[in-house]
């Protein structure tokens, strides 16, 4: 799971992203080989798909990343395949979509929910890059845990799996939901689009349901409420 996850960071500094995400994966695989590990599970990413041609995105869609971060995850998946072929290490890649939840850092890539929440609680404008119509498939962290644990014991036919809710949410809808749950008076501030961002993203989730026995249990509204409660408690703790 250890990785540099920022798309914008990877564009600014592709060498660090490659070193941590690709060479780091190779280090894990070499150690797994030495220890005769039975299985390695990689936390991959929907970023490997790049700009999707069809929606929802299925696992057999083209792998065509548009950022160094996505390229690093695609390369890590290829290393998994090569070690499985040459060394017999059972290897699975879980392509996480947009993960969120308590304790999330406010990074520019994965942390739009934590960024919006912190700004809403501070009555600061919620900055939306573009017109807000871009969509993402958000999945709560406890569902990610369930999927990852399920992947340890499953005996699937395939090696790559989308781990997502299968539901499409616009960034504008997300911002308004956070305004509603927090009761914030924060305004919406629209900013120029960012490089490396795609317009729409939502996953096809049948494979994970059938082969890993995984389905999400947490709705976006429930997940947002839980996340916001944690950030509010953190604010109170720091203020005490």
In this prediction, residue 181 carries a pLDDT of 97
C-alpha to C-alpha distance for 45 and 96, rounded to whole angstroms: 5
Residue 111's pLDDT is 81
Encode pLDDT of 25-55 as tens digits.
999 999 999 999 999 999 999 999 999 999 9
pLDDT of residue 10: 92
Domain ranges of the chain: 7-239
Whole-model pTM?
0.93
pLDDT at res. 106: 65
Active site residue 69: yes
Please give the pLDDT value at position 110: 52
Q: Which of 50, 44, 49, 47 is nearest to 3 (CA)?
A: 44
CATH superfamily of 7-239: NAD(P)-binding Rossmann-like Domain (3.40.50.720)
Catalytic residue among 69, 96, 100, 109: 69
Give me 186's structure tokens. 């924060």
Helix (H) or strand (E) holding 133: none
DSSP 8-state code for residue 36: T
Residues of the chain with pLDDT under 70: 106-110, 196
């Amino acid at each position: 799971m250890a990785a540099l996850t920022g798309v914008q960071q990877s564009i600014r500094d592709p060498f660090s992203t490659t070193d941590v995400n690709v060479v780091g994966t190779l280090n894990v695989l070499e150690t797994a080989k030495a220890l005769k590990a039975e299985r390695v599970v990689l936390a991959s990413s929907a970023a490997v798909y790049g700009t999707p041609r069809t929606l929802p995105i299925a696992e057999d869609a083209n792998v065509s990343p548009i950022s160094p971060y996505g390229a690093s995850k695609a390369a890590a998946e290829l290393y998994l395949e090569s070690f499985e072929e040459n060394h017999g290490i059972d290897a699975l890649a879980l392509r996480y979509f947009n993960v969120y939840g308590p304790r999330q850092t406010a990074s520019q890539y994965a942390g739009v929910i934590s960024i919006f929440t912190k700004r809403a609680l501070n009555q600061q404008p919620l900055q939306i890059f573009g017109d807000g119509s871009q969509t993402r498939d958000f999945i709560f962290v406890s569902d990610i845990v369930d999927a990852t644990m399920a992947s340890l014991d499953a005996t699937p036919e395939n090696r790559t799996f989308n781990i997502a809710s299968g539901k499409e949410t616009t960034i504008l809808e997300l911002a308004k939901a956070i305004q509603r749950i927090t009761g914030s008076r924060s305004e919406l501030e629209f900013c120029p689009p960012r490089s490396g961002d795609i317009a729409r993203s939502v996953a096809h989730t049948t494979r994970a349901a059938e082969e890993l026995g995984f389905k999400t249990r947490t709705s976006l509204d429930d997940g947002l409420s839980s996340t916001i409660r944690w950030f509010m408690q953190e604010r109170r703790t720091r203020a005490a």
